[in-house]
Structure 1
Amino acid sequence: MTFIDLLGTVFAENREPALFSMVVWALWTRWNHLRAGENTGTLDHLLQQARDRLRDFLHHNTARIQPVGHPPTSWQPPGPSQYKINVDGVLFMSNSSAGLGVVIRNEHGQVMVSLSKRTPLPSIVIEVEALAARRGLELAVEMGFKNIVLESDSQVLITALWDNSYSLASFGHMVKDIQFIAYQLSSISYTHVRRQCNTLTRSLARRAKSVSQFQVWIKEVPPNSSSILRADIFGLL
């Protein structure tokens, strides 16, 4: 049995997938420490450490969804010491591809990193939104951000992430990927917003049509998105 087979069995048969994710992450971390010549604990204690970390994670973290009837009308910053990831996806039917847009900002509205990525056209529209969310969380992990608010204008995606209704969804495997990555964070919440609150990431997603694979900007956005960023900041004043 390959690791992919094992992973599929764990999730399909609901064999404590959250604990399994913690164990895999603990093994991966231990391996990296060993490669770096750092001190690590014994394997005898790894399972209990994974259980303790999962218990702490579940105690301190709950996924929250913005009430559907009262979403904000402009972009809002995250709480203190948090980073907000806004994500969006668009379809390019003419060349059978899709664009993903991601921007991560801090509590002051400052851009930490932004991304445009082109990807093959998924089979259904919601998969584009899920791909953008997954890439946004991956980027947060790569940058070392641990306290996250993931925000999207896709109510279907946010609801699936919020109430664990992904198991029977056609894009369920992508939701599982997102939640697997989320286990690597210290805290995460999910919020739904109106599309006008997500215009910056939409511009980044549209920009992906002109890139070969992806582009990343550190602490800035591309020039053609600067006016949208300024509008978001002005809306906070």
Structure 2
Amino acid sequence: MAKYNCDEAWQAKTLRGGAGLVCRDDLGCFLEAGGEGGLVCQSAIIAEALAIQEAINASWIVGFKEIVIESDSKEIITMLRKETVVGVEVESIVFNIQTLAYRLDRVIYMHTSCSCNRTAHLVASFVSKQRGTHFWVLVCPNWLFNCLAEDVNVFVRL
């Protein structure tokens, strides 16, 4: 089962940000990463929801049928699990996520700490600054390698 960590990088001052994701296999090995930058969002939770939407789209494109989605936004995760009422500002995005998830056999939504989501945040920050769509499959960019290695306790530096 593939696991997607999703995060946003958003600035309240400009209302701009990026939605990033990192996908790993059961052993923690890198499969893909990417996201969308230059997004205009009214809040951080909207950007968080868009990151999850990107992950579900990405998983479907590469053919994964069962995935785990991790986010450090407890609010959006509880909405997707149907444990709390969906907020008006993210209602349409949550609907899109749920609709896209029907194409897959199984989607598990999990909350994680910010410290366990830092690689996804690094990707979100990168795409936010670069703007546009960026994706890397099976081979990650050099600037991401060290963070991925630290996540699985491998101390190799590029």
TM score, norm. by length of structure 2: 0.90
Tell which has more relative contact order, 1 or 2 (C-alpha 8 A, sep 6+). 2
Q: If you compute each CA radius of gyration, which structure gives the higher value, 1 or 2?
A: 1
SS at match of 1:170: helix
The answer to whether residue 51 in structure 2 is matched with residue 135 in structure 1 is no
1:223 shift after superposition = 1.2
SS at match of 1:234: coil
8 Å CA contact retained: 1:141, 1:184: yes
For the structure 1 residues 128 and 168, does the alpha-carbon distance in structure 2 shift closer, same or farther, using more than 3 Å as the test? closer
The 2-side partners of 1:171 and 1:143 are apart by 26
- Partner in structure 1 of residue 40 of structure 2: 121
Identity of aligned residues (%): 26
The 2-side partners of 1:85 and 1:142 are apart by 14
Higher helix share: 1
Give the count of matched residue pairs: 154
1:87 shift after superposition = 0.3
- Partner in structure 2 of residue 204 of structure 1: 123
Query: What does 1:42-121 align with in structure 2 at a 5 Å threshold?
Result: 82-92=1-11, 96-121=15-40
The 1-side partners of 2:38 and 2:65 are apart by 26
1:115 shift after superposition = 0.2
- Partner in structure 2 of residue 170 of structure 1: 89
SS at match of 1:208: helix
1:110 shift after superposition = 1.2
> Over aligned residue pairs, what C-alpha RMSD do you find?
1.7
The 1-side partners of 2:12 and 2:102 are apart by 34
The 1-side partners of 2:106 and 2:98 are apart by 12
CA offset digits 1:61-93 (Å, max 9, x no partner): xxxxxxxxxxxxxxxxxxxxx010110001145
- Partner in structure 2 of residue 183 of structure 1: 102
1:215 shift after superposition = 1.2
For the structure 1 residues 154 and 212, does the alpha-carbon distance in structure 2 shift closer, same or farther, using more than 3 Å as the test? closer
The answer to whether residue 114 in structure 2 is matched with residue 232 in structure 1 is no
8 Å CA contact retained: 1:153, 1:193: yes
SS at match of 2:28: coil
